[in-house]
Amino acid sequence: MNKILIVDDDIEYTENLKEILDNAGYVNDAAESVKEAMEKLCTQQFDVILLDFMMPGIDGINALGEFKKISPNSKIIMITAFASIENAVRAIKNGASEYISKPFKIEALLLMIKQVIEELRFEGDIKKLKLEGTLSSLSNSIRREIIRMFQTNPKIRMMETARKLDIEDHTKVIFHLKILKEARILKQDKKRAYLLTKEGQKVLECLNILDNYLSEQ
Amino acid sequence: MNKILIVDDDIEYTENLKEILDNAGYVNDAAESVKEAMEKLCTQQFDVILLDFMMPGIDGINALGEFKKISPNSKIIMITAFASIENAVRAIKNGASEYISKPFKIEALLLMIKQVIEELRFEGDIKKLKLEGTLSSLSNSIRREIIRMFQTNPKIRMMETARKLDIEDHTKVIFHLKILKEARILKQDKKRAYLLTKEGQKVLECLNILDNYLSEQ
DNA sequence: AACCGGTGTGAACTATTCTTCACATAACCC
DNA sequence: GGGTTATGTGAAGAATAGTTCACACCGGTT
């Protein structure tokens, strides 16, 4: 059930829009000022924010920045009556997902909302895959020890790894190294030495974070 | 291979002790001052620290505190020529594992060292079990969703859980709830509602930590 | 080229985890 | 008490993860 926040000081426009979004199946709320919007964003999670460019007392780009700070995962659609390329570019560069000028066809806005919600879902899926990949890599103790080993050995070859971990069967080590390589946690250089990828460094960090957190009593 | 740091300004005593510990199979090092000891602790990991109560320029309890800050996992044995109940209590309350007074039989010290190393191993094993338990619980997506659910539902019953997670087969939900209960992450009250245990709250925190960490780009 | 240690592959096997099913027990309400 | 919903149990089957084995390929040295 996707939630949308309408930020506009034009009450009549807002009421119309609320009804349209309601009929389209969205849960929505409205704020007449940026201050009111920020208050709502502090206590509720919105998927999409429809932000009017011209809000009293604050320029739309500044409001955009403030919202991004409070609600980094929400998608912001900038709406303006005075369209310009410059403002469009500024808005997108400052974190808006989309930019649309009044007057617009309601179908165009609904389509845009649908698209940004798809983006949101896609980003959520990527995040889930990252988490699953990380947890899957860390769930096996040999792989944990391998990943930990890179804390003190930034580059290491396969047999060296087996010796450090005191594992005699080299194919066991290869199997787990292969899993980590396929998960893009490790890569190999020309001499076949293994190194952590950027992603792999994050996984090592997660392991350290968990170690430290669980050490606290 | 357990490492021991001897912190004492009596050179002759230290040399004797080094030889004895060497013969007993320990890797050891020495520092004549607390400052020197702290430098070594910053660059090396020691399992056991033998700390003389009377060090020049600093009282043993303060030194103890400093060492605990730098090397929280090391076990500290306080050694003193002027034994008193008061000092023993202070030392233990401030983090020493053991307290022994000179002159001592070498066998007694060796036994004490052996015991604190056992404690260290035991604590390490506990920590590993915690990490493995946490990762095992978090490695399955249904269990992740269950644990996440407690963020907004501190107390919930089984069928409610199934409905919230949109799982039709109630026995699947029961199976995973049972795993979490056996892992002491969940408990049940008299009305059979599930709640997070203290441990379970930690696991939820770990999940949030990982979520947040992996969200950063 | 031959030899040796290092590294890797894929399939068979084993172990573990998860899902499903049939049924049982418990609790609640009329 | 009876009917219905909620909750639970244990075993079988399915899916997934890990281990082992036999062998192949690679790279360096003599």
β-bridge mates for residue A188, sequence order: A194
Q: Provide the pLDDT for residue B197.
A: 92
Return d(Cα A113, Cα A177) in angstroms, integer.
43
Three-state DSSP state, A87:
helix
Name the minimum distance, in Å, from the CA of A137 to any CA of chain B: 9
Return d(Cα B214, Cα B217) in angstroms, integer.
8
Query: Does residue A50 share a domain with residue A110?
Result: yes
CB–CB contact A131 B205 (8 Å): no
Query: Does residue B198 share a domain with residue B159?
Result: yes
For a pLDDT cut of 90, what percent of chain A falls above it? 45
Q: Provide the pLDDT for residue B187.
A: 93
The domain of B120 spans 3-125
Query: Does residue A54 share a domain with residue A103?
Result: yes
Å between A177 CA and C16 C1'? 21
Å between A150 CA and D30 C1'? 35
Task: Spell out where chain A has E strands.
Answer: 3-7, 27-31, 48-52, 54-55, 58-59, 75-80, 98-101, 155-156, 186-188, 194-196
Query: Does residue B173 share a domain with residue B80?
Result: no
**Interchain CB contact of A215 with B (< 8 Å):** yes
In a domain, B134, yes or no: no
Query: Does residue A161 share a domain with residue A185?
Result: yes
Residue of A130, A136, A214 lying closest to B127 (CB–CB): A214
- The predicted-structure confidence for B171-213, as pLDDT tens digits, reads as follows 999 999 999 998 889 999 988 999 999 989 989 999 988 888 8
- How many structural domains does chain A have? 2
**Interchain CB contact of B125 with A (< 8 Å):** no
Q: How confident is the model at residue B116 (pLDDT cuts 50, 70, 90)?
A: very high
Domain containing residue A183: CATH number: 1.10.10.10
Name the minimum distance, in Å, from the CA of B152 to any CA of chain A: 13
Of the residues B125, B153, B174, the one at which a domain ends = B125
Q: How confident is the model at residue B70 (pLDDT cuts 50, 70, 90)?
A: confident
**Interchain CB contact of A71 with B (< 8 Å):** no
- The predicted-structure confidence for B43-66, as pLDDT tens digits, reads as follows 788 899 999 988 888 888 888 888
In a domain, A117, yes or no: yes
Q: Say if residue A217's pLDDT is above 70.
A: no
Q: Provide the pLDDT for residue B217.
A: 53
- What are the chain A neighbours of B215 within 8 Å (beta carbons)? 73, 127
Size of chain A in residues: 217
List residues with CB under 7 Å of strand D. Answer: A 136, 139-140, 142-143, 169, 171-172, 175-176, 179, 191; B 157-160, 170-171, 174-175, 177-178, 188, 192
Query: Among residues A103, A110, A97, which one has the least CA distance to residue A80?
Result: A103
In a domain, B133, yes or no: no
- The predicted-structure confidence for B121-166, as pLDDT tens digits, reads as follows 888 887 888 888 889 899 999 999 999 999 888 999 999 999 989 8
In a domain, A99, yes or no: yes
Ordered DSSP codes for B151-193:
TT-SEE-HHHHHHHTT---HHHHHHHHHHHHHTTSEEE-TT--
Decide the pairing of beta strands A3-7 and A48-52: parallel
User: Contact A120/A47 with Cβ under 8 angstroms?
Assistant: yes
User: Contact A64/A88 with Cβ under 8 angstroms?
Assistant: no
User: Contact B171/B121 with Cβ under 8 angstroms?
Assistant: no
Query: Does residue B46 share a domain with residue B94?
Result: yes
Query: Does residue A166 share a domain with residue A84?
Result: no
In a domain, A199, yes or no: yes
In a domain, A135, yes or no: no
CB–CB contact A211 B130 (8 Å): no
In a domain, B48, yes or no: yes
Query: Does residue B147 share a domain with residue B55?
Result: no
In a domain, A82, yes or no: yes
Best mutation site among B45, B71, B135 for testing chain A: the one with the most A CBs within 10 Å? B135
Query: Does residue B160 share a domain with residue B114?
Result: no
**Interchain CB contact of B214 with A (< 8 Å):** yes
Q: Provide the pLDDT for residue A89.
A: 80
Find and list the nucleotides of strand D having atoms within 7 Å of a protein beta carbon: 5-11, 17-22, 28
Of the residues B71, B93, B125, the one at which a domain ends = B125
Of the residues A124, A150, A183, the one at which a domain ends = A124
**Interchain CB contact of B43 with A (< 8 Å):** no
